[in-house]
């Protein structure tokens, strides 16, 4: 039988995720597999928790990776915090806000939505008016909206909720590792992210963090957490204490990869990592403008790691993406929802955010667009 994996070319991943994987992360993935209760592996687990706390600027005891992609992190955040009838406010300005709405409604939450135009940031004053009119158990927002390239004012919303009994839930799938995410100073109670974006690890894990207030809500539920696999009341017993209780077989080698990616970020220094993302973003934008292209999002609310580029009139956006992949081994992303066919999404995430990659995609775009 032919080995299809041996024929996979090396693709420059410059879409909305996954990103290019650090070489030493790939090496870590191939390290000898240990049992999920092995003492050496438990030490690695503890190291992951400690590094996540440092990167997220939090002291939350419940800071662990969930076995599953970022969508599993989203499910974990809501399934452990919502009970039927709970009033929930979902702030939406892109695809991933609508997914949060769907998940919260499936769990029986009494969901209200605060909608904003796709491509512009959430207006804090509108959020303030909404929470003054009604008490919500949970207020949820996406930090880095991957479908549009908008950075939402998560810190400012957190200041509105400081001292309240509401839980502040933030999707940080694309932001962690690319821009500052300061969980405790921003009064965030529940956060989830993914390994495949700015952490530059393959898809498959979703770090989550719950504040003590969120943990208290979890432990005082009137109903059992409806999802067994993502029930943090049981998973905690595997990640904490001297005696680790088996819950499910952890993806051991994936956790090796996460350990190494976090180690690399902390070794480079988070501020240096954020600066690298911003500098490469500015170089990319300058080059795109030189090609006559413009970005969807205004300057003051752009994400450095996800750039939404307007497709010029008369250009077949799918054909451009196809030629980049077939002729140059470069992947970029398409638009979603109402932005489908109108934008390209060019990612500069983690290990992908390097000058040589910016030069390569700009050179390739120039050739394709000229033709």
Q: Render pLDDT for 259-270 as a digit per residue (tens, 0 to 9).
A: 999 999 999 999
**Domain boundaries of the chain, sorted by first residue:** 5-18+270-370, 24-266
Those residues with Cβ within 8 angstroms of residue 293's Cβ, 6 or more apart along the chain or in another chain: 309, 310, 312, 365
Query: Which one, of 256, 247, 261, lies nearest residue 352 by Cα?
Result: 261
> What was the pLDDT predicted at 100?
98
Q: What is the pTM of this model?
A: 0.97
pLDDT in tens, 208-221: 999 999 999 999 99
164 and 143 Cβ atoms separated by less than 8 Å: no
The predicted-structure confidence for 97-151, as pLDDT tens digits, reads as follows 999 999 999 999 999 999 999 999 999 999 999 999 999 999 999 999 999 999 9
Question: Is 332 a residue whose pLDDT tops 90?
Answer: yes
CATH architecture of the domain with range 24-266? 3-Layer(aba) Sandwich (3.40)
CATH fold of 5-18+270-370, please?
3.90.1150
């Amino acid at each position: 039988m032919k080995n299809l994996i041996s024929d996979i070319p090396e693709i420059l991943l410059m879409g909305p995720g996954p990103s290019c994987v650090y070489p030493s992360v790939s090496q870590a993935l191939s390290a000898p597999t240990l049992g999920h209760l092995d003492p050496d592996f438990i030490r690695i687990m503890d190291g992951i928790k400690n590094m996540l706390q440092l990167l997220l600027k939090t002291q939350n005891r419940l800071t662990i990776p969930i076995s599953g992609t970022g969508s599993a992190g989203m499910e974990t955040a809501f399934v452990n915090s919502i009970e039927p009838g709970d009033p929930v406010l979902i702030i939406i300005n892109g695809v991933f806000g609508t997914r949060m709405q769907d998940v919260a409604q499936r769990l029986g939450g009494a969901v209200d939505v605060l909608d904003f135009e796709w491509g512009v940031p959430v207006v804090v004053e509108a959020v303030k008016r909404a929470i003054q009119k009604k008490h919500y158990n949970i207020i949820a927002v996406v930090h880095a909206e991957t479908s549009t390239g908008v950075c939402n004012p998560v810190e400012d919303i957190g200041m509105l909720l400081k001292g309240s009994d509401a839980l502040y839930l933030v999707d940080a799938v694309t932001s962690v590792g690319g821009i500052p995410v300061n969980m405790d100073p921003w009064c965030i109670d529940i956060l989830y992210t993914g390994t495949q974006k700015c952490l530059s690890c393959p898809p498959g894990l979703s770090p989550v963090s719950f504040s003590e207030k969120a943990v208290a809500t979890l432990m005082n539920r009137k109903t059992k957490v409806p999802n067994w696999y993502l029930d943090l009341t049981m998973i905690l017993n595997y990640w904490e204490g001297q005696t680790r209780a088996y819950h499910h077989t952890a993806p051991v080698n994936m956790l090796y990869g996460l350990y190494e990616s976090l180690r690399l970020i902390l070794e480079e220094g988070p501020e240096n990592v954020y600066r690298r993302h911003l500098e490469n973003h500015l170089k990319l934008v300058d080059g795109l403008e030189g090609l006559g292209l413009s970005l969807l999002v205004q300057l003051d609310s752009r994400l450095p790691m996800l750039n939404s580029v307007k497709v010029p009139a008369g250009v077949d956006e799918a054909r451009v993406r196809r030629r980049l992949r077939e002729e140059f081994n470069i992947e970029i992303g398409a638009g979603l929802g109402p932005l489908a066919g109108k934008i390209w999404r060019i990612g500069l995430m983690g290990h992908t955010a390097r000058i040589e990659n910016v030069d390569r995609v700009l050179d390739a775009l120039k050739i394709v667009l000229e033709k």
